Homo-oligomer: A and B are copies of this chain.
Amino acid sequence: MYSFASDNMSEVHPQIMDALLRCNSGPAAAYGADDWTARLNAVYSELFERETFVFPTPTGTAANGLAIAACAPPHGAVFCHALSHIVTAECGAPEFYSGGARLVLLPSEASKVETGALTAELGNYGPDHIHQLKPAVVSITQATERGRVYTLSEIAALGEIARSHAMRLHMDGARFTNALVHLGATPAEMTWKSGVDILSFGTTKNGTMMSEAVIVFDKATAADIRYRHKRAGLLQSKMRYFSAQLIAYLEGDLWRKSALQANLNAQRLAKALSAAEGVSLADPVEANEVFVHLPPPVKAALAAHDIHFRKWADTKDTLFRIVASYADDPKQIAQVERAIMALDVTQVGGIETNRNC
Protein backbone atom coordinates (compact mmCIF):
# COMPACT_ATOMS: atom_id res chain seq x y z
CA MET A 1 0.00 0.00 0.00
CA TYR A 2 1.10 3.52 -0.79
CA SER A 3 -0.51 6.02 1.53
CA PHE A 4 -0.33 9.73 0.93
CA ALA A 5 -3.15 10.57 3.30
CA SER A 6 -1.07 12.72 5.62
CA ASP A 7 2.50 13.40 6.61
CA ASN A 8 1.60 12.84 10.24
CA MET A 9 1.23 9.14 9.48
CA SER A 10 4.99 8.85 9.07
CA GLU A 11 7.11 7.06 11.60
CA VAL A 12 9.60 8.93 13.72
CA HIS A 13 12.89 9.61 11.99
CA PRO A 14 15.68 7.27 13.20
CA GLN A 15 17.86 10.22 14.23
CA ILE A 16 15.06 11.48 16.47
CA MET A 17 14.59 8.02 17.92
CA ASP A 18 18.32 7.88 18.62
CA ALA A 19 18.12 11.20 20.43
CA LEU A 20 15.38 9.82 22.66
CA LEU A 21 17.46 6.77 23.46
CA ARG A 22 20.51 8.91 24.17
CA CYS A 23 18.72 11.03 26.73
CA ASN A 24 17.28 7.97 28.43
CA SER A 25 20.17 7.35 30.79
CA GLY A 26 19.57 7.93 34.43
CA PRO A 27 17.62 10.61 36.23
CA ALA A 28 17.28 14.18 35.08
CA ALA A 29 15.66 17.20 36.64
CA ALA A 30 11.96 17.51 35.91
CA TYR A 31 9.77 20.28 34.43
CA GLY A 32 12.42 21.65 32.13
CA ALA A 33 15.27 22.01 34.58
CA ASP A 34 17.21 19.36 32.61
CA ASP A 35 20.30 19.85 30.44
CA TRP A 36 18.48 19.49 27.13
CA THR A 37 15.88 22.10 27.91
CA ALA A 38 18.60 24.36 29.28
CA ARG A 39 20.04 24.52 25.75
CA LEU A 40 16.77 24.91 23.95
CA ASN A 41 16.43 28.69 23.95
CA ALA A 42 20.07 29.10 22.99
CA VAL A 43 19.83 26.67 20.08
CA TYR A 44 16.72 28.35 18.72
CA SER A 45 18.01 31.84 19.40
CA GLU A 46 20.93 31.00 17.14
CA LEU A 47 18.60 29.54 14.55
CA PHE A 48 16.38 32.62 14.53
CA GLU A 49 19.26 35.10 14.91
CA ARG A 50 17.73 36.83 17.93
CA GLU A 51 16.65 36.12 21.47
CA THR A 52 14.01 33.42 21.16
CA PHE A 53 11.89 31.64 23.73
CA VAL A 54 10.73 28.10 23.04
CA PHE A 55 7.65 26.48 24.57
CA PRO A 56 7.36 22.83 23.54
CA THR A 57 3.87 21.44 23.10
CA PRO A 58 2.70 17.96 22.26
CA THR A 59 0.50 19.04 19.34
CA GLY A 60 0.14 21.79 16.81
CA THR A 61 -3.37 22.40 18.06
CA ALA A 62 -2.02 23.17 21.52
CA ALA A 63 0.68 25.37 20.00
CA ASN A 64 -1.83 27.37 17.98
CA GLY A 65 -4.20 27.75 20.90
CA LEU A 66 -1.43 28.86 23.20
CA ALA A 67 0.09 31.28 20.71
CA ILE A 68 -3.22 32.93 19.93
CA ALA A 69 -4.17 33.18 23.60
CA ALA A 70 -0.88 34.90 24.31
CA CYS A 71 -1.74 37.57 21.74
CA ALA A 72 -5.52 37.96 21.89
CA PRO A 73 -7.63 39.04 24.84
CA PRO A 74 -10.87 37.11 25.33
CA HIS A 75 -12.58 39.93 23.51
CA GLY A 76 -10.13 39.79 20.63
CA ALA A 77 -10.77 39.11 16.97
CA VAL A 78 -8.43 36.77 15.11
CA PHE A 79 -8.46 37.29 11.38
CA CYS A 80 -7.71 34.22 9.34
CA HIS A 81 -8.52 32.27 6.23
CA ALA A 82 -11.68 30.17 6.16
CA LEU A 83 -9.61 27.09 5.33
CA SER A 84 -7.29 27.57 8.32
CA HIS A 85 -6.56 24.51 10.38
CA ILE A 86 -7.51 26.61 13.43
CA VAL A 87 -10.95 27.01 11.87
CA THR A 88 -11.62 23.60 10.41
CA ALA A 89 -9.73 21.06 12.46
CA GLU A 90 -8.94 22.10 16.01
CA CYS A 91 -12.37 21.87 17.65
CA GLY A 92 -12.19 25.46 18.80
CA ALA A 93 -8.78 25.35 20.48
CA PRO A 94 -8.17 29.08 19.89
CA GLU A 95 -11.47 29.89 21.55
CA PHE A 96 -10.67 27.56 24.44
CA TYR A 97 -7.15 28.80 25.05
CA SER A 98 -8.07 32.48 24.69
CA GLY A 99 -11.30 32.33 26.67
CA GLY A 100 -13.55 33.17 23.77
CA ALA A 101 -11.71 35.18 21.15
CA ARG A 102 -13.43 35.00 17.81
CA LEU A 103 -12.04 33.70 14.53
CA VAL A 104 -13.08 36.05 11.76
CA LEU A 105 -13.01 34.30 8.40
CA LEU A 106 -11.72 36.35 5.52
CA PRO A 107 -12.95 35.83 1.99
CA SER A 108 -10.27 34.77 -0.43
CA GLU A 109 -9.83 33.51 -3.95
CA ALA A 110 -7.21 31.02 -2.88
CA SER A 111 -5.82 29.70 0.40
CA LYS A 112 -3.95 32.81 1.51
CA VAL A 113 -5.09 35.73 3.62
CA GLU A 114 -5.19 38.69 1.27
CA THR A 115 -4.33 42.21 2.32
CA GLY A 116 -7.35 43.65 0.55
CA ALA A 117 -9.82 41.41 2.32
CA LEU A 118 -8.11 42.00 5.65
CA THR A 119 -8.14 45.76 5.28
CA ALA A 120 -11.77 45.76 4.19
CA GLU A 121 -12.84 43.69 7.17
CA LEU A 122 -10.90 45.89 9.58
CA GLY A 123 -13.13 48.74 8.52
CA ASN A 124 -15.85 47.19 10.69
CA TYR A 125 -13.71 47.37 13.83
CA GLY A 126 -12.08 49.99 15.95
CA PRO A 127 -12.03 51.78 19.30
CA ASP A 128 -15.21 53.65 18.41
CA HIS A 129 -17.06 50.48 17.62
CA ILE A 130 -16.93 48.37 20.74
CA HIS A 131 -20.02 46.48 19.65
CA GLN A 132 -17.52 44.44 17.72
CA LEU A 133 -14.52 42.60 19.15
CA LYS A 134 -11.09 44.16 19.34
CA PRO A 135 -8.75 43.36 16.47
CA ALA A 136 -5.93 41.34 18.02
CA VAL A 137 -4.30 38.79 15.74
CA VAL A 138 -3.80 37.96 12.10
CA SER A 139 -3.12 34.26 11.78
CA ILE A 140 -1.66 32.70 8.65
CA THR A 141 -0.64 29.13 7.86
CA GLN A 142 2.75 28.56 6.25
CA ALA A 143 2.56 26.50 4.07
CA THR A 144 -1.18 27.02 3.61
CA GLU A 145 -3.88 24.38 3.85
CA ARG A 146 -3.71 24.10 0.06
CA GLY A 147 0.03 23.68 -0.05
CA ARG A 148 0.85 27.24 -1.05
CA VAL A 149 3.72 29.25 0.39
CA TYR A 150 3.43 32.92 1.34
CA THR A 151 6.30 34.89 -0.13
CA LEU A 152 8.37 37.04 2.20
CA SER A 153 6.77 40.16 0.83
CA GLU A 154 3.28 38.75 1.26
CA ILE A 155 4.08 38.04 4.90
CA ALA A 156 5.61 41.44 5.37
CA ALA A 157 2.54 43.15 3.92
CA LEU A 158 0.29 41.36 6.39
CA GLY A 159 2.74 42.12 9.19
CA GLU A 160 2.55 45.76 8.28
CA ILE A 161 -1.24 45.82 8.48
CA ALA A 162 -1.14 43.96 11.78
CA ARG A 163 1.33 46.41 13.28
CA SER A 164 -0.57 49.44 12.07
CA HIS A 165 -3.70 48.15 13.86
CA ALA A 166 -1.84 47.16 17.04
CA MET A 167 -2.39 43.51 16.21
CA ARG A 168 0.08 40.61 16.29
CA LEU A 169 0.91 38.35 13.36
CA HIS A 170 0.80 34.65 14.15
CA MET A 171 2.18 31.99 11.84
CA ASP A 172 0.92 28.44 12.06
CA GLY A 173 4.05 26.67 10.88
CA ALA A 174 2.80 23.10 10.92
CA ARG A 175 4.78 22.70 7.69
CA PHE A 176 7.21 25.51 8.45
CA THR A 177 10.27 23.78 7.03
CA ASN A 178 8.56 22.68 3.84
CA ALA A 179 7.74 26.33 3.19
CA LEU A 180 11.17 27.52 4.30
CA VAL A 181 13.13 25.36 1.89
CA HIS A 182 10.77 26.27 -0.93
CA LEU A 183 11.53 29.94 -0.38
CA GLY A 184 15.21 29.38 0.27
CA ALA A 185 14.80 31.83 3.13
CA THR A 186 16.24 31.88 6.61
CA PRO A 187 14.00 31.23 9.61
CA ALA A 188 14.54 34.85 10.63
CA GLU A 189 13.52 36.13 7.22
CA MET A 190 10.36 34.06 7.13
CA THR A 191 9.32 35.15 10.62
CA TRP A 192 10.25 38.20 12.64
CA LYS A 193 12.07 39.97 9.83
CA SER A 194 8.77 39.83 7.93
CA GLY A 195 6.70 40.93 10.88
CA VAL A 196 5.76 37.58 12.44
CA ASP A 197 5.35 38.04 16.19
CA ILE A 198 4.73 34.48 17.27
CA LEU A 199 5.16 31.12 15.59
CA SER A 200 3.73 27.65 15.95
CA PHE A 201 6.77 25.65 14.94
CA GLY A 202 5.88 22.22 13.64
CA THR A 203 8.23 19.27 13.61
CA THR A 204 5.96 16.24 14.03
CA LYS A 205 4.87 16.04 10.39
CA ASN A 206 8.51 16.31 9.40
CA GLY A 207 9.96 13.54 11.53
CA THR A 208 9.62 13.89 15.30
CA MET A 209 7.33 11.91 17.60
CA MET A 210 5.27 14.72 19.13
CA SER A 211 7.26 17.92 19.44
CA GLU A 212 5.73 21.15 18.34
CA ALA A 213 6.65 24.47 19.89
CA VAL A 214 5.48 28.00 20.30
CA ILE A 215 8.35 30.29 19.34
CA VAL A 216 8.20 33.69 21.00
CA PHE A 217 10.36 36.65 20.04
CA ASP A 218 9.73 39.03 22.91
CA LYS A 219 10.28 38.84 26.64
CA ALA A 220 6.89 40.15 27.73
CA THR A 221 4.97 37.53 25.80
CA ALA A 222 7.36 34.85 27.03
CA ALA A 223 6.78 35.90 30.63
CA ASP A 224 3.03 35.60 30.15
CA ILE A 225 2.94 32.43 28.09
CA ARG A 226 4.93 30.49 30.68
CA TYR A 227 1.92 30.52 32.94
CA ARG A 228 -0.48 29.61 30.15
CA HIS A 229 1.80 26.77 29.08
CA LYS A 230 1.91 25.30 32.55
CA ARG A 231 -1.77 25.92 33.19
CA ALA A 232 -2.82 24.03 30.09
CA GLY A 233 -0.81 21.01 31.18
CA LEU A 234 1.77 21.44 28.44
CA LEU A 235 4.82 21.69 30.69
CA GLN A 236 6.09 18.12 30.67
CA SER A 237 7.50 16.58 33.80
CA LYS A 238 10.02 14.64 31.72
CA MET A 239 10.61 17.61 29.46
CA ARG A 240 14.00 16.35 28.33
CA TYR A 241 12.34 13.95 25.89
CA PHE A 242 10.64 16.84 24.14
CA SER A 243 13.62 19.16 24.16
CA ALA A 244 15.95 16.47 22.92
CA GLN A 245 13.74 15.99 19.87
CA LEU A 246 13.62 19.70 19.14
CA ILE A 247 17.41 19.87 19.30
CA ALA A 248 18.06 16.70 17.30
CA TYR A 249 15.64 17.93 14.66
CA LEU A 250 18.08 20.67 13.71
CA GLU A 251 21.28 18.64 13.99
CA GLY A 252 23.06 17.90 10.76
CA ASP A 253 20.34 19.87 9.00
CA LEU A 254 17.95 16.98 9.47
CA TRP A 255 14.95 19.26 9.34
CA ARG A 256 15.86 20.84 6.00
CA LYS A 257 16.90 17.57 4.42
CA SER A 258 13.61 15.99 5.43
CA ALA A 259 11.56 18.88 4.12
CA LEU A 260 13.47 18.98 0.86
CA GLN A 261 12.84 15.27 0.42
CA ALA A 262 9.13 15.63 1.14
CA ASN A 263 8.82 18.57 -1.25
CA LEU A 264 10.70 16.68 -3.94
CA ASN A 265 8.41 13.69 -3.53
CA ALA A 266 5.42 15.98 -3.95
CA GLN A 267 6.92 17.45 -7.12
CA ARG A 268 7.46 14.03 -8.60
CA LEU A 269 3.92 12.94 -7.85
CA ALA A 270 2.52 16.18 -9.19
CA LYS A 271 4.52 15.93 -12.36
CA ALA A 272 3.45 12.38 -13.03
CA LEU A 273 -0.19 13.16 -12.37
CA SER A 274 -0.17 16.29 -14.51
CA ALA A 275 0.73 14.23 -17.50
CA ALA A 276 -2.24 11.91 -17.03
CA GLU A 277 -5.35 12.17 -19.14
CA GLY A 278 -7.98 14.49 -17.67
CA VAL A 279 -5.97 15.33 -14.59
CA SER A 280 -5.28 18.91 -13.53
CA LEU A 281 -3.50 20.42 -10.57
CA ALA A 282 -5.75 22.64 -8.47
CA ASP A 283 -2.92 24.62 -6.92
CA PRO A 284 0.75 25.16 -7.67
CA VAL A 285 2.81 22.60 -5.74
CA GLU A 286 5.14 24.56 -3.51
CA ALA A 287 5.53 22.47 -0.37
CA ASN A 288 4.77 18.79 0.16
CA GLU A 289 1.12 18.71 -0.80
CA VAL A 290 -0.52 18.15 -4.14
CA PHE A 291 -4.11 19.23 -4.74
CA VAL A 292 -5.39 17.64 -7.87
CA HIS A 293 -8.61 17.14 -9.78
CA LEU A 294 -8.95 13.49 -10.73
CA PRO A 295 -11.64 12.10 -13.01
CA PRO A 296 -13.38 9.17 -11.35
CA PRO A 297 -11.78 6.57 -13.60
CA VAL A 298 -8.33 7.89 -12.71
CA LYS A 299 -8.92 7.81 -8.98
CA ALA A 300 -10.40 4.34 -9.32
CA ALA A 301 -7.37 3.16 -11.20
CA LEU A 302 -5.02 4.56 -8.58
CA ALA A 303 -6.98 2.83 -5.84
CA ALA A 304 -6.67 -0.38 -7.83
CA HIS A 305 -2.91 0.05 -7.53
CA ASP A 306 -3.34 0.44 -3.77
CA ILE A 307 -2.40 4.10 -3.94
CA HIS A 308 -4.35 5.98 -1.29
CA PHE A 309 -5.00 9.58 -0.38
CA ARG A 310 -7.93 11.71 0.67
CA LYS A 311 -10.75 13.50 -0.98
CA TRP A 312 -10.57 17.18 -0.04
CA ALA A 313 -13.61 17.67 2.06
CA ASP A 314 -14.99 21.09 1.35
CA THR A 315 -15.06 20.80 -2.35
CA LYS A 316 -16.77 19.06 -5.17
CA ASP A 317 -16.16 15.46 -5.91
CA THR A 318 -13.04 15.55 -8.02
CA LEU A 319 -10.58 17.33 -5.75
CA PHE A 320 -8.03 15.25 -3.85
CA ARG A 321 -5.13 15.95 -1.56
CA ILE A 322 -1.88 14.00 -1.80
CA VAL A 323 0.65 14.58 0.96
CA ALA A 324 4.24 13.54 0.49
CA SER A 325 6.50 12.82 3.42
CA TYR A 326 10.21 12.77 4.12
CA ALA A 327 9.67 9.11 4.97
CA ASP A 328 8.26 8.01 1.64
CA ASP A 329 10.42 5.27 0.20
CA PRO A 330 11.96 6.62 -3.05
CA LYS A 331 11.44 3.22 -4.62
CA GLN A 332 7.78 3.47 -3.84
CA ILE A 333 7.59 6.95 -5.28
CA ALA A 334 9.11 5.56 -8.46
CA GLN A 335 6.58 2.73 -8.48
CA VAL A 336 3.76 5.18 -8.06
CA GLU A 337 5.12 7.30 -10.87
CA ARG A 338 5.17 4.26 -13.11
CA ALA A 339 1.69 3.27 -12.04
CA ILE A 340 0.39 6.71 -12.88
CA MET A 341 2.06 6.67 -16.26
CA ALA A 342 0.49 3.33 -17.03
CA LEU A 343 -2.92 4.10 -15.59
CA ASP A 344 -5.64 1.60 -16.32
CA VAL A 345 -8.85 3.38 -15.55
CA THR A 346 -11.31 0.53 -15.63
CA GLN A 347 -11.53 -0.49 -11.98
CA VAL A 348 -13.34 1.35 -9.18
CA GLY A 349 -12.28 1.60 -5.51
CA GLY A 350 -13.16 3.46 -2.33
CA ILE A 351 -11.39 6.59 -1.25
CA GLU A 352 -11.38 8.03 2.23
CA THR A 353 -12.46 11.55 3.01
CA ASN A 354 -10.92 13.55 5.79
CA ARG A 355 -9.68 17.04 6.09
CA ASN A 356 -7.83 16.87 9.41
CA CYS A 357 -4.20 17.07 8.69
Asked if B127 and A224 make an inter-chain contact with CB atoms under 8 angstroms apart, the answer reads no
Contacts of A327 in B (CB 8 A): 27
Of the candidates B88, B132, B134, the one whose C-beta lies within 8 Å of that of A88 is: B132
Q: In whole Å, how far is A227's beta carbon from the nearest beta carbon of chain B?
A: 4
Q: Is there an interface contact between A74 and B96, defined as CB atoms closer than 8 Å?
A: yes
A100 partner, pick from B96, B223, B234, beta carbons under 8 A: B96
> How distant is the Cα of A29 from the Cα of B131 in the complex, in angstroms?
15
Is the C-beta of A157 less than 8 angstroms from some C-beta in chain B? Answer: no
In A13-58, the 8 Å CB interface with B consists of 17, 20-21, 24-31, 57-58
Stretch at the interface among A4-12, A255-263, A335-343: A4-12
Q: Does A130 contact B (CB under 8 A)?
A: yes
Count residues of chain A with CB under 8 A from any CB of chain B. Answer: 80
Total identical chains: 4
Contact B228 A75 (CB under 8 A): yes
Report the minimal beta-carbon distance from A141 to chain B, rounded to whole angstroms.
15
| A residues adjacent to B (C-beta < 8 A) | 3, 5-6, 8-12, 17, 20-21, 24-31, 57-66, 73-75, 88-93, 95-96, 98-103, 105, 124, 127, 130-134, 204-205, 209-210, 223-224, 226-228, 230-238, 241-242, 313-314, 325, 327, 355-356
